[in-house]
Amino acid sequence: MSPLLPAVASLALTSFALMTGSTWAQVPAPNTLDPSATEARPRSAPAVATTPLTPGKAARAPYLSDATAPDAVAILPPPPRGQSAAEAADKTVFSATRALKGSARWDLATADVADGPSAILDDFACVLGRKIDQSRSPALMTLLERTRLDISRATRSLKEHYRRLRPFVGNEAEICVARTRELGDAYSFPSSHATQGWAYASILAALVPEKATQFFVRGKAYGENRIVCGVHWASDVEAGRTTASVVVSSLQGDAGFRADFERARVELAKNLSQEGSPPDQAICARETSALREPIL
């Protein structure tokens, strides 16, 4: 059995299951959890579809072909519409989470709007106990970068099919990022960043299985923070986790992915056994405290 299967086997989808990266506008570096960062709003996160993890060395091809890539539109149910109970639940969650402004969780969500394309990896540094050095992790970066393209294809098909508007469109509710035309025009379902966060948590959990729980807790929170920021509906994030599991499960059937996964496993084990740059323990402590705050 592939080591990834247990990591992505099942998901509990609930109405209140709540899960960002960007170019910062006059705010501190990502993961500072500085409360003042909420006042100078960061711009929206770099697009998963167009922003590589490894600038200058972007992957040119996904792992899955047109023939082997899963049809996300056929697999996932449509987003809530009309006057349904599911749509009402989405609106309730959006309204309730606006009250989180000024909380530690709001600050974490804002910090997750990171300023670099690979900054999402920094969000897992506290779990690893080590920052991932791209220059020493070419196999891991190749694995994640090619996977990004498979994630992008799956989420793009859903976004273009359903064209769901974001929750802040048409109102003046608080959000943790700058309101831009680009963000407002980008479709909401599913959350590409929640998809990427859960997919990477799944892969890292399989690479370092003794820390699987911590990776999934952080990956879930990363997605929920898209809701905290007010840029996605709760059901967008649920759909993102489902999409991630579909993509990662499909990748296990690809020989190229399996080969790169094994190279990344050996590489990461070697790197973790050597001296490296630890994350800021004060940041990790604040992150742990913020994650204890309930969304609702």
**Structural domains in the chain, sorted by start:** 16-291 (1.20.144.10)
Q: What pLDDT, on the 0 to 100 scale, is given for residue 184? A: 87
pLDDT in tens, 158-198: 999 999 999 999 999 999 998 888 888 899 999 999 999 99
Neighbours of 77 (CB within 10 A): 11
CA 188 to CA 190: how far, in whole Å? Answer: 6
Instruction: Please list the alpha-helical segments (H only) found in the chain.
Output: 5-8, 72-75, 85-97, 104-111, 125-128, 138-162, 181-185, 192-207, 212-228, 234-251, 255-272, 281-291
Share of the chain above pLDDT 70, in %: 84
pTM of the prediction? Answer: 0.84
The answer to whether 155 and 240 are in contact (CB under 8 A) is yes
What is the chain's mean pLDDT, rounded? 84
Token pair in block for residue 45: 């996160």
> What local confidence, expressed as pLDDT, does residue 83 receive?
87
Distance CA 25, CA 8 (A): 36
Q: Please tell me the predicted confidence (pLDDT) of residue 25.
A: 32
Distance, CA of 130 to CA of 256 (rounded, Å): 27
**Least confident among 21-35, 36-50, 68-82, 175-189:** 21-35
